[in-house]
């Protein structure tokens, strides 16, 4: 599903974020990308979301070579991937319903279809009763659940979660991880970027460890070991 | 297509009202910028009217020798009327001149008694010349220096007005130049204010624009509501400016009319030039908003 072939990314002048990374992620996998700050975890997500482009190597998603993706194709790629960010990135002046709807509106989905889909998705993330609230009226965990709903609503095959528990307490963090596992069970490939040891160890899925931009370990049902 | 257009309009309105204070501040800045431009237009109109009012009072009186016949005076009148610089030439007969003289000095018995003693009309006919522009008077006088006319003339009172005329010509020129310079400065300031107001408004949307792009919005889908909002800002700011400007003009009109005696009417001036003045202002405001919005968003849209 996702292939990284000898991918390197250098932030000029000389910060090597990724160096000759080879990685294959199969469909419906749950992969935790772990490592210390500056190891290149977020860069990996940014390359998949076309926020950055690689300096060397090749990246393909579902057979689509996105290495040199052009600007016009970027929105099309992003509509097929769901992304959950550490800082949530919800639109502050839109309600939960409107925030989730936005991901469908950019795809041109009809208002009727939107009003059918969103209650179902909000139900999955247990936010149905808070659909009319604005982000500032929600707790951290609720905001992240709303963000997950937005990332899921267009039924992406891949969900990228970049430190989704970074701003949450342990209870809310566990809640979000459980939600991601549930989404994975439905058949979505999940890439979880985190440096939270407890989270990774509890998930018991594939763990890819990055250090100084290189993959130093890749284990099925691995643990966070530095 | 229709759904997208509807969504863009909805987002523009929604954002306008949900960021009410930001919209209010942006709108106020735009209104102030437009208002200052209109104040400049008022100042320009008042200054020009004041000059016209003073210019209207200036003329040249040509006093003919008493022995000169009416026909000779009419010849000079016809000649003057043929000059392109002349606006109007009024003939005052000997009798009318005497009548005017008596009326003017009705409270001075000594002068009236002297007139009675002379027993005949000592005054000659005269012509009152009005030029199209104060700067034309020297040229008209130059034309009259031809001996065939000059020999008929006893005196001209232009020299009395010469200083005033020269000064007014100078003031007219300076006011015109000054108005152009002030207009340019005001326009530049307004452009910078509008540009900055829109940039600041969009700066607060920086994170939002990034978030929109990251969930798959195209550049156009992100940009369009903000551009539409720029148009809404332009229209609303002009409407508010008009709503404030007209009562203000109605209020100052009577005071200005007292100062400027000619048919001075500020409101009529704006009514007559409504389409040109406000049409250009609307076009300018919208264009400025669109350009500054487009430019400001471009900085944040590259995600």
ipTM score assigned to the predicted complex: 0.86
Nearest CA among A154, A21, A144, A188 for reference residue A78: A154
> Would residue B160 count as lying in a domain?
no
Q: How far apart are CA B107 and CA A174, in angstroms?
A: 109
Cα–Cα distance, A190 to A31 (Å, whole number): 6
- Count other Cβ atoms within 10 Å, centred on residue B81: 12
Same domain, residue pair B107 and B254: no
CB contact under 8 A, B216 and A150: no
- Chain B residues with CB under 8 Å of A107 CB are 216
Domain shared by B297 and B177, yes or no? yes
Contact assignment for A85 to B15 by CB distance below 8 Å: no
Q: Where are the alpha helices (DSSP H) in chain A?
A: 41-48, 74-78, 96-105, 111-124, 140-152, 170-185, 197-203
Give the domain-ending residue among B151, B183, B211.
B151
Residue at B288 is within a domain: yes
A75 vs B14, B18, B217: nearest CB: B217
- On whether both B37 and B93 belong to a single domain, the answer is no
SS3 B229: helix
Q: Is the pLDDT of residue B97 over 90?
A: no
| Residues A106, B210: C-beta atoms closer than 8 Å | no
In contact, B296 and B198? CB cutoff 8 Å? yes
Whether residue A213 lies inside any domain: the answer is no
Distances (CA, A) of B231 to B14, B26, B27, B297: 15, 13, 12, 15
Say yes or no: A146 contacts chain B, CB-CB below 8 A: no
Residues B261-296 pLDDT 10s: 667 788 999 999 999 999 999 999 999 889 988 988
Q: Are residues B209 and B80 both part of a single domain?
A: no
Check residue A4 and give its pLDDT.
95
CB pairs under 8 A between A and B: 53
Q: Write out the residue range of the structural domain in which residue A105 sits.
A: 90-155
* A173 CB within 8 Å of a chain B CB: no
Q: Give the integer Cα–Cα distance in Å for B239 and B36.
A: 15
Predicted pLDDT at B139? 84
Torsion of CA A30, A34, A197, A150, to 10 degrees: -50
Indicate whether A81 belongs to any domain.
no
Question: How many domains does one find in chain A?
Answer: 1
Confidence category of residue B190, pLDDT binned at 50, 70, 90: confident
* Residues B198, B240 within the same domain: yes
- Under DSSP, the state recorded for A153 is T
Strand order, beta sheet including A64-65: A15-25, A2-11, A56-61, A64-65
DSSP state of A220: T
A29 domain residue, yes or no: no
The percent of chain A in helix, strand and coil, each rounded to the nearest 5, is 35, 25, 40
CB contact under 8 A, B216 and A78: yes
Contact A75 B207 (CB under 8 A): no
Q: How many domains does chain B have?
A: 2
Same domain flag for B74 and B47: no
Distance from the B28 Cα atom to the nearest Cα atom in chain A, whole angstroms: 22
Q: B144 and B28 in one domain?
A: no
Q: Is residue B55 less than 8 Å (CB to CB) from chain A?
A: no
Assigned domain for A222 exists = no
B56 vs B87: CA distance, rounded Å: 11
Q: Does residue A134 or residue B190 have the better pLDDT?
A: A134
Residue B59 lies in a domain: no
Instruction: Say yes or no: B3 contacts chain A, CB-CB below 8 A.
Output: yes
Q: Is A76 on the interface with B (CB under 8 A)?
A: yes
Is the minimum CB–CB distance between B212 and chain A shorter than 8 Å? yes
- Contact between A29 and A189 under an 8 Å Cβ cutoff? The reply is yes
**Sheet containing strand A214-219, strands side by side:** A81-84, A158-162, A189-194, A30-34, A206-211, A214-219
Q: B140 is in which domain, residue-wise? A: 66-151
Higher pLDDT, A95 or B184: A95
In a domain, B191, yes or no: yes
β-pair partners for B131: B86
Last residue of a domain, one of B85, B119, B151: B151
Q: Tell me, yes or no, whether A180 lies in a domain.
A: no
Percent of chain B with pLDDT over 90: 17
Does B218 contact A at CB distance below 8 Å? Answer: yes
The answer to whether B215 contacts A78, with C-beta atoms less than 8 Å apart, is yes
Confidence at residue B189, expressed as pLDDT on a 0 to 100 scale:
84
How far out from the chain centre does Cα A83 lie? 4
- B15/A78 Cβ within 8 A: no
CB A160 within 8 A of CB A147: no
Same domain, B185 and B75: no
Say if residues B131 and B52 touch (Cβ distance below 8 Å): no
Q: Is residue B158 part of a domain?
A: no
Q: Is B21 on the interface with A (CB under 8 A)?
A: no
Partners of residue A83 in chain B, C-beta under 8 Å? 214-215
Residues of A in contact with B15 (CB under 8 A): 93
Structural tokens at position A2? 């996702």
User: Do residues A149 and A82 touch, judged by C-beta distance below 8 A?
Assistant: no
Q: B78: which 2 tokens? A: 């016809």
Task: Answer yes or no: is A118 within a domain.
Answer: yes
Query: Would you say residue B108 has pLDDT above 90?
Result: no
In which order are the strands placed within the sheet that holds B153-156?
A: B86-92, B126-131, B60-64, B153-156
For chain B, where are the alpha helices, taking DSSP H only? 2-18, 20-55, 70-81, 94-104, 109-118, 137-144, 147-150, 158-203, 206-214, 219-259, 266-272, 274-301
Question: A103 and B216 in contact by Cβ < 8 A?
Answer: yes
Q: How far is CA A151 from the centre of its chain?
A: 8
Same domain? For B222 and B293 the reply is: yes
The verdict on residue B159 lying in a domain is: no
Q: Is B298 on the interface with A (CB under 8 A)?
A: no
Residues B278 and B172 in one domain: yes
More confident residue, B161 or B200: B200
**B40 belongs to a structural domain:** yes
Whether the Cβ atoms of residue B126 and residue B61 lie closer than 8 Å to each other: yes
> Which of B7, B14, B208 is closest, CB to CB, to A105?
B7
User: Is residue A30 situated within a structural domain?
Assistant: no
Q: How many Å apart are CA B259 and CA A223, to the nearest integer? A: 91
In a domain, B132, yes or no: yes
Q: pLDDT tens, position by position, for chain A (226 residues)?
A: 899 999 999 998 878 899 999 999 999 999 999 998 888 998 999 999 999 999 999 999 988 999 999 989 999 999 999 999 888 899 999 999 999 999 999 888 999 999 999 999 999 888 999 999 999 999 988 999 999 999 989 889 999 999 888 888 888 888 889 889 989 998 999 999 988 888 888 888 999 999 999 999 998 877 776 6
Name beta bridge partners: A160: A83, A191
Cα–Cα distance measured from residue B191 to residue B136, given in angstroms and rounded to the nearest whole number: 39
How far is residue B178's CA from residue B171's CA, in Å, rounded to a whole number?
A: 10
User: If you search the block for the tokens 């990251």, which residue do you land on?
Assistant: B214
Joined tokens for residue B263: 């048919």
Asked if residue B198 and residue B98 are part of one domain, the reply reads: no
**CB–CB of B215/A102 below 8 Å?**
yes
Look at residue A175 and tell me if it is in a domain.
Answer: no
Q: Does B204 touch chain A (CB under 8 A)?
A: no
Residue B78 sits at φ, ψ, to 5 deg, of -60, -40
């Amino acid at each position: 599903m996702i292939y990284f072939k000898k991918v390197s990314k250098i932030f000029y002048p000389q910060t090597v974020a990724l160096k000759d990374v080879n990685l294959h992620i199969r469909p419906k996998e749950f992969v935790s990308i772990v490592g210390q700050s500056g190891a290149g975890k977020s860069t990996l997500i940014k390359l998949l979301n076309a926020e950055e482009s690689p300096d060397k190597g090749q990246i393909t998603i579902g057979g689509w070579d996105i290495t040199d993706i052009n600007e016009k194709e970027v929105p099309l790629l992003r509509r097929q991937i769901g992304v959950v960010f550490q800082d949530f990135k919800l639109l502050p002046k839109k309600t939960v319903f409107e925030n989730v709807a936005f991901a469908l509106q950019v795809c041109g989905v009809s208002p009727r279809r939107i009003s059918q889909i969103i209650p179902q998705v909000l139900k999955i993330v247990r936010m149905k009763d808070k659909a009319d609230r604005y982000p500032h009226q929600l707790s951290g965990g609720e905001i992240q659940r709303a963000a997950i709903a937005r990332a899921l609503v267009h039924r992406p095959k891949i969900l990228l979660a970049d430190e989704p528990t970074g701003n949450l307490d342990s209870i809310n963090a566990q809640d979000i991880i459980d939600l991601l596992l549930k989404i994975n069970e439905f058949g979505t490939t999940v890439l979880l970027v985190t440096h939270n040891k407890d989270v990774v160890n509890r998930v018991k899925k594939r763990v890819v460890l990055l250090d100084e931009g290189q993959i130093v370990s890749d284990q099925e049902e691995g643990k966070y070991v530095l | 297509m229709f759904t997208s257009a509807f969504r863009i309009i909805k987002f523009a309105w929604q954002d306008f009202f949900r960021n009410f204070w930001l919209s209010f501040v942006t709108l106020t800045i735009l209104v102030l910028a437009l208002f200052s431009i209109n104040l400049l237009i008022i100042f320009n109109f008042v200054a020009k009217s004041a000059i016209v009012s003073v210019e209207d009072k200036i003329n040249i009186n040509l006093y003919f020798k008493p022995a000169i016949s009416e026909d000779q005076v009419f010849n000079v009148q016809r000649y003057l009327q043929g000059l392109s610089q002349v606006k109007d030439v009024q003939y005052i007969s000997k009798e009318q001149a005497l009548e005017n003289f008596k009326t003017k000095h009705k409270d001075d018995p000594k002068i009236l008694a002297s007139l009675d003693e002379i027993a005949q009309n000592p005054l000659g006919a005269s012509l009152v010349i009005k030029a199209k522009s104060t700067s034309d008077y020297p040229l008209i006088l130059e034309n009259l220096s031809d001996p065939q006319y000059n020999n008929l003339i006893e005196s001209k009172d232009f020299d009395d007005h010469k200083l005033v005329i020269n000064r007014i010509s100078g003031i007219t020129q300076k006011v015109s130049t000054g108005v152009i310079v002030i207009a340019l400065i005001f326009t530049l300031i307004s452009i910078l204010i509008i540009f900055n107001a829109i940039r600041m408004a969009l700066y607060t949307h920086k994170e939002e624009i990034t978030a929109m792009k990251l969930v798959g919005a195209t550049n156009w889908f992100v940009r369009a509501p903000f551009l539409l909002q720029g148009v809404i800002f332009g229209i609303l700011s002009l409407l508010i400016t008009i709503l404030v400007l007209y009562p203000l003009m109605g209020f100052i009109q009577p005071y200005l009319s007292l100062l400027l005696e000619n048919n001075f009417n500020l409101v009529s001036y704006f009514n007559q030039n409504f389409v040109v003045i406000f049409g250009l202002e609307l076009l300018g405001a919208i264009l400025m908003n669109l350009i500054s919005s487009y430019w400001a968003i471009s900085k944040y849209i590259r995600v």
